């Protein structure tokens, strides 16, 4: 009986420790979550993809776009990628298109990363202009959810739970 | 009732588990493992920069160029992410000829502090080179939130 109680206590404490670790690992960025519901028009851009072809945001009108500013050296960004790949698979048929904007200085590590993580959505190489156009991308990751009319529905600064992004995506997909 | 022995075991397990959790959260190479004595807060750096007297530091940005081009501390120099070999070589080049007592401030601000991959290797490298007056700018969330939005001086471009 006593040993069973000890096992239960030990398991409980381990659970607490894992919680502490997860909190430390994800940092305070969770609290920064969705900062604003904005409805301004998302600034248009035309930027080179990894394959050299240019991608223009306005060509995605009629789709719900998740615009993800990230970089290969950014740990929370890397952690989000598998969830974004999953999200793209799950909602592509309903009109979701994810676009990654890499803030890396060179496309080389991005190409390697793209292959390794089997990314299933286009990635363009960002620059200071697009950063400023979107209000300053001075910390990563930052995700914008853009509705079918090209308006910004939500902005998420910092590491964001996949479920939170999915909730927003579902809301925009359902509203139009 | 829980016996004293059980409570003691529970306490020991808790301490061990929390220590392990904290250790995992402060893996080598992470900014969280930089000693607090190496850090400088944004407000303290601003005071130094605005003071009419005293030595001004050489400020080195060790994050990405795209972030630097959008906003950086005026007079700070771009080094690049030192997690890359090229970035580390650049850091060495930029300080190689300086006296070891030179006041140097490193900063990045790419990510929340506990995720920044750049400042710790840069701090380690400068100290290994013999620099004795190096500080790392503590940016809790990112350069935008903790510097630009605070209204501290900012420059753009190259």
Chain A residue nearest residue B11, CA to CA: A13
Does residue A6 belong to any structural domain of this protein? Answer: no
The pLDDT, as a whole number, for residue A129 is: 95
- A→B contacts (Cβ < 8 Å), by residue, are 2, 5-6, 9-10, 13-14, 16-18, 20-21, 24-25, 27-29, 32, 71, 73-77, 103-105, 109, 126-128, 131-132, 136-140, 157-159
Does residue B86 belong to any structural domain of this protein? Answer: yes
Does residue B15 belong to any structural domain of this protein? Answer: no
Q: In chain A, what residues touch B84 (CB-CB under 8 Å)?
A: 73, 109
Does residue A170 belong to any structural domain of this protein? Answer: yes
Does residue B10 belong to any structural domain of this protein? Answer: no
- Please state, in angstroms and rounded to a whole number, the distance separating the CA atoms of residues A124 and B101: 43
Q: pLDDT (tens digit, 9 = 90+) per residue, A20-46?
A: 444 444 433 332 334 444 469 999 999
Does residue A23 belong to any structural domain of this protein? Answer: no
The pLDDT, as a whole number, for residue A29 is: 37
| Chain centroid to CA B87 | 15
Does residue A131 belong to any structural domain of this protein? Answer: yes
Confidence bin at A159 (pLDDT 50/70/90): confident
Does residue A111 belong to any structural domain of this protein? Answer: yes
Q: How far A176 CA lies from chain B's nearest CA (Å)? A: 33
Q: Which of A10, A27, A105 sits opposite B114 (nearest CB)?
A: A27
Does residue B36 belong to any structural domain of this protein? Answer: no
Chain B residue nearest residue A77, CA to CA: B111
The pLDDT, as a whole number, for residue B73 is: 98
Contacts of B66 (CB under 8 A, 6+ apart): A103, A104, A105, A126, A127, A128, A131, A137
Q: pLDDT (tens digit, 9 = 90+) per residue, B20-40?
A: 444 444 444 689 999 999 999
The pLDDT, as a whole number, for residue A12 is: 56
The domain total for chain B is 1
* CATH number, position B125: 3.40.250.10
Q: How many residues can be counted in chain A?
A: 176
Range of the domain at B118: 43-150
* CATH number, position A170: 3.40.30.10
Nearest to A110 by CA among A65, A57, A45, A49: A49
The pLDDT, as a whole number, for residue B83 is: 85
Instruction: Decide if pLDDT at A2 tops 80.
Output: no
Instruction: Decide if pLDDT at A16 tops 80.
Output: no
Weakly modelled stretches of chain B, pLDDT under 70: 1-29
The pLDDT, as a whole number, for residue B28 is: 46
The domain total for chain A is 1
Does residue B37 belong to any structural domain of this protein? Answer: no
The pLDDT, as a whole number, for residue A163 is: 95
Does residue A91 belong to any structural domain of this protein? Answer: yes
The pLDDT, as a whole number, for residue A34 is: 45
Q: Is the dihedral of CA B40, B43, B44, B48 positive or negative?
A: positive
Does residue A88 belong to any structural domain of this protein? Answer: yes
Contacts of A3 (CB under 8 A, 6+ apart): none
- Cβ pair A7, B8 in contact under 8 A: no
The pLDDT, as a whole number, for residue B4 is: 67
ipTM for the predicted complex comes to 0.72
């Amino acid at each position: 009986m006593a040993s069973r109680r000890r096992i239960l206590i030990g398991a409980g404490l381990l659970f607490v420790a894992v919680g502490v670790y997860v909190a430390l690992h994800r940092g305070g960025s969770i609290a920064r979550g969705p900062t604003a519901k904005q409805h301004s028009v998302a600034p248009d851009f035309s930027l080179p993809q990894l394959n050299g072809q240019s991608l223009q945001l306005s060509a995605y009108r009629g789709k719900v776009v998740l615009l993800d500013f990230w970089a290969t050296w950014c740990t929370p960004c890397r952690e989000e990628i598998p969830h974004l790949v999953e999200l793209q698979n799950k909602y592509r048929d309903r009109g979701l298109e994810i676009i990654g904007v890499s803030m890396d200085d060179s496309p080389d590590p991005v190409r390697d990363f793209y292959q390794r993580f089997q990314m299933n959505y286009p990635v363009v190489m960002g620059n200071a202009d697009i950063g400023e156009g979107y209000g300053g991308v001075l910390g990563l990751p930052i995700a914008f959810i853009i509705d079918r009319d090209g308006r910004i529905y939500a902005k998420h600064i910092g590491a964001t739970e996949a479920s939170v992004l999915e909730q927003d995506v579902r809301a925009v997909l359902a509203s139009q | 009732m829980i016996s004293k022995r059980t409570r003691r075991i529970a306490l020991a397990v808790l301490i061990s588990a929390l220590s392990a959790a904290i250790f995992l959260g402060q893996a080598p190479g992470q900014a969280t493992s930089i000693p607090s004595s190496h850090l400088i807060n944004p407000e303290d750096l601003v005071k130094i920069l605005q003071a009419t007297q005293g030595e001004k530091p050489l400020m080195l940005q060790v994050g990405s160029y795209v972030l630097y081009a959008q906003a950086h501390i005026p007079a700070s120099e771009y080094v690049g992410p030192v997690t890359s070999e090229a970035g580390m070589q650049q850091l060495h080049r930029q300080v190689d000829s300086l006296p070891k007592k030179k006041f140097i401030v490193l900063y990045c601000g790419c990510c929340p502090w506990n995720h920044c991959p750049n400042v710790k290797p840069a701090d380690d490298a400068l100290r290994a080179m013999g620099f004795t007056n190096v500080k790392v700018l503590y940016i809790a969330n990112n350069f935008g939130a903790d510097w630009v939005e605070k209204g501290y001086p900012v420059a753009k471009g190259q």
